[in-house]
Copies of this chain bind each other. A is one copy, B any other.
Amino acid sequence: MKRDCYIGVDLGGTKILAGLFNQGLSCIGRAKMKTKAYRGPKAVIERILACVGVLMQEQETPISRIKAIGLGAPGAVDPESGTVLFAPNLPDWKKISLGPALEDKLQVPVRIENDGHICVLGVHRVEFASRPRFLIGIFIGTGIGAGMIIDGKLYTGFNRTAGEVGHMVVQEGGPKCSCGNRGCLEALAARPAIYRKIKAMIENGDKSVLTEIVGEDLEGLRSGDLRKAMKRGDKVTRTVVEDAAYHIGIGVANLMNLLNPERIVLGGGVIDALKDLMLPTISETAHLHALAGTDKGVQITATKLGDDAGITGAAVLASGR
């Protein structure tokens, strides 16, 4: 049988998404599973394999048709050995030989990269026909990561760890971050920070329709619930989401002042659910904080690939394009 398909896998702190792609890099099917990261690396690798298995079943495609698999992991990665060096949002992931483990089971070549790098690669190669020379992608979900295209190529840096925009300090002495420091962008604007602030406000006595939507304890709160609450005019949600958008705007301005990219694209679960509600504040704050001339002609948009940015980039990686 001819090997004429690719699989792209997006391994996140919350969920695993796998997509089947044809040679033209169009997505022809998806499968999704919870990561259950607390179970540790071995169990998560089993879940990646299970997710790929479900995808192949649903698409009625045998693994023998897969040319290569690409995977984006939320942390520092050594693509040559296929190792995840560390992943702040995946407990106990230190020097995990992920690529070889998957190759061993699936008997297909597996390439891995950092998820921020992967997402911007997907956006650059598949979404933008113009192929901007200088593109930065910022992806906001459980964590905040970035990927950069410089001179038309993926930029990964000296130790291949570039793009850790989530750990850019924008508020010295600010809230504690998972990395141990204070005032990182991630500690101010990623999904857990948003949820934490909402819970604190409600515990403080503020009323919110979120308790109607998901229950008093707010267990199982999701980005989509924030959207529903904002659409119903909920003040608590609006205050917290706009605050997060402001911090992201500061982060975007810092990147514009520093790197003067041609385009900035935003993505990830939080943006995917709330883009029309967050983008005006992000954009306004960013332009307000950009030095004159720096942001001239620079567009800030949400990726049209939405939640598929990761699997698309992973498929691009698999294809070697």
Contact = CB atoms under 8 A, between A and B. Distances in A.
A173 B173 CA distance: 12
A296 interface: yes
A107 interface: no
A221 interface: no
B162 A258 contact: yes
Copies in the complex: 2
Given A181-B289, A293-B86, A297-B159, A164 B134 contact: no
The main secondary structure of chain A at its interface with chain B is loop
A312 B261 CA distance: 28
Interface stretch (A122-130, A149-157, A206-214, A232-240): A149-157
Interface string A76-91: 1000000001101000
Nearest to A262: B158
A177 to B, nearest CB: 10
Given A179-B291, A289-B169, A133 B158 contact: yes
A133 B174 CA distance: 34
Given A157-B134, A172-B170, A165 B258 contact: yes
A interface, size bucket: 35 or more
Contacts of A43: none
A297 B157 CA distance: 12
Interface in A292-317: 292-294, 296-298
Interface of A: 76, 85-86, 88, 133-134, 146, 150-151, 155-165, 167-174, 179, 181, 247, 250, 253-255, 257-262, 288-289, 291-294, 296-298
30 contacts: A76-B291, A76-B292, A76-B293, A76-B294, A133-B158, A150-B150, A150-B155, A157-B261, A158-B262, A158-B298, A161-B257, A161-B260, A161-B293, A161-B294, A163-B258, A163-B260, A164-B257, A164-B258, A165-B258, A167-B291, A168-B254, A168-B257, A168-B258, A169-B254, A171-B172, A171-B173, A172-B250, A179-B291, A181-B289, A255-B258
